[in-house]
Structures are given as structure tokens and as C-alpha cells.
A and B are shown apart, each in its own frame.
Chain A
Amino acid sequence: MTRRQKNIVNTTLRYLVLIGVGTIMIYPMLWMLGASFKTSNNEIFSSIGIIPKKFSIQAYINGWQSTEYTFLTYLVNTYKIVLPKVVGTVLSATLTAYGFARFRFKGKKMFYAILLSTLFLPQVVLNIPQYLLFRNLGWLEPSLSYLPLIIPTFFASDTYFVFMLVQFLRGIPKELEEAAKIDGCNSLQTLWFIICPVLKPSIVSAALFQFMWSSNDFMGPLIYVKTVAKYPASLGLRLSMDADVGFEWNKILAMSIITLLPSLIVFFAAQKQFVEGVTAGSVKG
């Protein structure tokens, strides 16, 4: 074989593997999308084809009303939890990261070591006492039941975001800030006018990650949100699955797609950020 032929064979092999893996990754999701427009279980479970014979949006209409509340309630609830969480995370993680990356103070090394070690602390261990803590604070009342999910984010509870921002900040030269200091800016002004604009890409990717993870969060609401009227979409979906005795799969899949849609839109709008966010911040996943 000549070198040229060898190259062609190699490239072809690589493409075959890439396409093969790509199909495994994407086909189930496309099949799910197709199935949500199919009319019956019969059709869903008898063909591996994606395109429905007869295109119908009936599953979406039925699924939307399959429980006591319409799916709109669950979606609105989701964002009542998610948006404050994103705000809390961005504010607290930026302040903390700024403190760690740009100042010297007593015990800094020790505090940073503690922060990093909390990355490896299993949430399972904390769930029970946290639950008891919030119960003692009276936050299990239905009207307050989002507080246990939201309030900790205002105290930088998701430490990987702090870690991620610190990593980014380390790569930013300090000259700009020194100029600002000479011009008489205090540290808060420096943070707002100088650091934040430079740090914006990583702040945005932290916000996006928090948005997606919180919209998908299941265990948190499962523990704290006890009233159906307050359910976010993740619990609403699980509820409609339980409520559906005959398992009309097209209905369940239609609602699954609706809950995934916001995350998918966010992902496609900002995919570059995500890939950079993962590599630079070494985020979980």
C-alpha cells in the first residue's frame, strides 16, 4: 500500500467509528422524538423507524393535561426554582472566587483546601441533617419549600463553580486591576468594572451549567417539595408516568421532550461555552 492509500483507509476507518458512535448517541433521542408524534403504542413498539406513519400532536395535548395540573404549572415551578439558583450561584461564586484568587489573608490556604475537599463530599451524607435543619427553620411548609433548594446557592454551596472561576481568574493578568487601583477604584469597583467584564465568559458558563443541572434536578425537589401544585417539571413528569396506568408511551415521551427542550435550546445556543467550561473548570458530569 502506498502512503496515500494508507491515509485514505485510515480516514475512512475513523469516520466509520465516529459515525457509528454518533448514531448510538443520537438515534435513541431521535427515535424518542419520532415516537412522541406516533399515534399508538403499537406503532411505537413495532418499528425502529423514526418518522411516524401519521403525524399527530395528540400526545402533546393529552400529556399536557394528564395530571391534576397542566404541565405549564410544573414548567413555571421549575423556573421559580432555577432562576433564583442561577442568580445566587453567580453572585456568591464570583465574590468567593475573587476573594481567593486576588487577595492575601490569614488562613487562605487552609480555607481553599477545605473548599476543594468539599468537592468530594457526597451529598448523600448531608441530605438527612440538612433536611432536619430546614425542618427546624420551618422551611418545609409548602409555601417555603423552595427555600432549601435556593438559599444555599447564595452561599456558594456549589463549590465547583468557585473552583472553576478561580481557575479562570488565575489566567487573567493583574496589570489591569493595578491600573484601576491607582486610579482610585476600591476592590468592589475593581471587581465590577474590571474583573467581571473579563471573567464574563466563565461566569456565563457557570450560569448555564447551573441552569441545566437545576432544571434536571430530581432528588432535591423529591425530598423538599411535597405538594403537587408546587412540583417542578422533573417531578411532574415522574407523576404523569405513575398516573398513566396503561403507559401510553407517546404521552410520556411528549412530556419528556418538553422538559428537555429548554436545556437543549440553552445547550445549542451556547455549546462553545459548555465545552470550554468543562475543560477549563473540570466540572463534574
Chain B
Amino acid sequence: MRRNKDVQISDAVLKRRGFRYFLKENTGFLYILPWLIGFLVFKLYPFGSSLYYSFTDYDLFKDIVSFIGFKNYTQILDTAKIRKAFEVTFRYAFMTVPLKLAFALFVAYILNFKIKGVNLFRTIYYIPSILGGSVAIAVLWKFLFQNNGLINQILSIFNVVGPNWLGDSRYSLFVVSLLRVWQFGSPMVIFLAALKSVPTDLYEAASIDGASKTRQFLSVTIPLISPVIFYNLVTQLCQAFQEFNAPYIITDGGPLGSTTLISMLVYQNAFKTYQMGLASAISWLLFLIVMTLTIISFMSQKYWVYYSDDEGR
């Protein structure tokens, strides 16, 4: 009781001292100030001006900005090359993300069993992901899928003549996608952590009730780790729609534009031909798509994501 009173008095004293009171009340705010300044300068301002530029014909060479309304957006819809890039990006994302997540979950499931040497396998599986979007890994991939590269050499052992993976527009996107599926380490580690947190007595109860291993996986494991599936889904989707390095280095968008993703088109338009207005419009359309998909995922949560404490919603 007495202590409480002391605090009140000292607060009142501080209030009269103005600046020191302000400091005491806002210490936390001062700590986040660098981030806040960074957010305003490097995120919010660019975000807003990007929207503005998307309605202009800003050409960096002429350096004149004039407002042209929705012209950039209609141009996007009218240009076959850009429409194709959107189509390719969708195909890329909807091929890569489910494959990668399924693979990551499958491997995490096996790694979750008590077997010797698990750490070694975990490390090996994680290496390709840690090297991520590096140029060197993209070079390796290009090298593997050369006409006479390792993949086709292995196929020829089984008397299969492998296709010209990177030169054939039917396979090129698949090869790029495969690189990202191969780098399944990060979602795998997150799945693994989630699987470890599933209480074992739930499995015991289920097996007493006569549930098979598959049944247990579907009815116990999946619902319990669904928040993590959701998290991985959203982050991987965001990432897939922004893919740039791998197709840029492995195929440079070709053959026949089959691996030209939207981010590459933004790069080309902005930093090669300096059409900042058009490029901004393309990037904003991409943003709207990613946002819509994220919102749909968030809304779909109530149908399939199970939160034990109702807090995550």
C-alpha cells in the first residue's frame, strides 16, 4: 500500500518535470524509433509512391512524370507477353508450393521417429535451403539439367533418353520449380518442431480406439499442426510469387518466355528499359494478387486450421 503511494507521488513529481516524464512514459517508443523511421522512409513512402507511379508514364530517361490514369493497367491486360508472365507465375507458384510443403511434411514425419543419426539427416536436408537463392546453386541446377548433365546421364542408365530440360518450354518451368522443391529445409524444420509438440498420449488414445497409422496422421497430426501448415503455406506463397534469381540465372526467362516470371518482367521494365510507370503497375498488380491470396488463406483458416486456445485467430 505504502509503496504504491510512493510511486504515485514520484509520478506526479515527474509529470511536473515534463521532459523526464515524457522519457519515462515513452522509453519503449524511443527504442522502436529507428525501426519506425526506417519503416516510414524505406517502406511506407516507397509503397505509396509506387502506387502513384503506377498511374504515370514515368520514363527514367526523360525524367518527366505525368499522370495517365489506368493506362498502364490496361496496357498490362493488352500485352500478351505480360499476360503470359502472370500465367507462368501462377503455374509456378501452384506447382512449387504444394509439392514443397508435401515433401517437407513427409520428410519431417519420418525424421520425427526415434532413429539413430537423425541429426545427420536433418543437417544434410537443410544444406541446400541454407544456400537458398545463391547464384552458385542456380549454376549447379543449370549444370545438372544440361542436355548431357547428370540427370540425363542417370536416365540413360535406365535406357531413357532424357529431354532437353532447359531448352524445351514444356519442361523448363518444372526444372526451375524443382530447385525450390529441393530446398524444402526451412518448412521441414518448422514442421518437425510442430510434430514434436504433438502430445504422445493423443496417439496412444487413438490407437486404443483402433485408429490405423494413416487415420492417426489424418485425424490427429494434421489438425494439430494445421497452424504451422498455414504459416508455411502463406510464407511459401509470398516467396513463390516473388521468385527471381533461379529463373534469371538458369534460363534467363526462356525458352519462349516459359520461365519469365512477373518479378523478372518488373526488373526488365524498370532497370533495363527504364519504364518505371509500367513496371510499378506490374508490381502493384503482383502485390494485389499476393494480398488477395493471403486474405483468402486467412479467411479459409476457420475451415481447416485448428487452434487449441483460440488465440491465433
Contact = CB atoms under 8 A, between A and B. Distances in A.
Interface of A: 11, 14-15, 17-18, 21-22, 24-26, 28-29, 31-32, 35, 45-48, 92, 95-96, 98-100, 102-108, 111, 114-115, 118, 120-133, 152, 154-157, 159, 162, 187, 212-213, 215-216, 218-219, 222-223, 234-235, 237-238, 241, 249, 252-253, 255-257, 259-260, 263-264, 267, 271, 274-275, 278-279, 282-285
Nearest to A102: B28
Interface residues of B, number: 92
Most chain B beta-carbon contacts within 10 A, residue among A107, A155, A253: A155
Interface stretch (B4-12, B66-74, B162-170, B186-194): B186-194
Nearest to A13: B110
B121 A28 contact: no
Interface stretch (B79-87, B237-245, B299-307): B237-245
Given A21-B125, A133-B45, A223-B271, A120 B286 contact: no
B126 A274 contact: yes
Interface in B243-273: 244-245, 248-249, 262-263, 266-267, 270-271
B87 to A, nearest CB: 17
Interface of B: 25-32, 34-39, 41-43, 45-47, 49-50, 53, 107, 110-111, 113, 115, 121-137, 139-140, 143-144, 146, 148-150, 153-154, 157, 182-183, 185-187, 189-190, 192-193, 231, 234-235, 238-239, 241-242, 244-245, 248-249, 262-263, 266-267, 270-271, 276, 279-280, 283-284, 286-287, 290-291, 294
- Main SS of the interface on chain A? helix
B129 to A, nearest CB: 6
Contact of A216 (B110, B133, B193): B133
Nearest to A238: B135
Given A122-B238, A219-B245, A285 B150 contact: no
Contact of B122 (A14, A257, A267, A275): A275
B186 A285 contact: yes
B42 A125 contact: no
A96 B134 CA distance: 29
Nearest to B120: A22
B270 A284 contact: no
Contacts of B39: 114-115, 118, 155
Contacts of A241: 139
5 contacts: A18-B115, A24-B182, A124-B266, A129-B46, A278-B189
B135 A25 contact: no
A96 B32 CA distance: 4
Contacts of B38: 92, 152, 154-157
B128 A111 contact: no
Contacts of B126: 271, 274-275
Given A118-B39, A125-B47, A284 B239 contact: yes
Contacts of B129: 285
Contact of A284 (B122, B186, B276): B186
A104 B34 contact: no
Given A275-B189, A284-B186, A122 B136 contact: no
Contact of A28 (B28, B144, B283): B144
A120 B47 contact: no
Given A22-B125, A274-B130, A115 B35 contact: yes
B45 to A, nearest CB: 7
B62 to A, nearest CB: 14
A132 B283 CA distance: 15
B26 A95 contact: no
A17 B249 contact: no
B124 A257 contact: no
A277 to B, nearest CB: 9
Contacts of A162: 35
Contacts of A223: 267, 271
B50 A129 contact: yes
Nearest to A160: B235
B140 A285 contact: no
A21 B283 CA distance: 37
Contacts of A96: 31-32, 34-35
Contacts of A17: 110
A48 B41 CA distance: 52
Given A154-B38, A274-B126, A279-B190, 12 more contacts: A29-B128, A32-B140, A96-B31, A102-B28, A128-B53, A128-B279, A155-B37, A212-B132, A219-B244, A222-B271, A249-B143, A285-B186
B131 A125 contact: no
Contacts of A157: 38, 42-43
A28 B140 contact: yes
Nearest to A236: B135
A26 to B, nearest CB: 5
Nearest to B143: A249
Given A21-B125, A48-B153, A100-B28, A256 B139 contact: yes
Contacts of B238: 120, 122
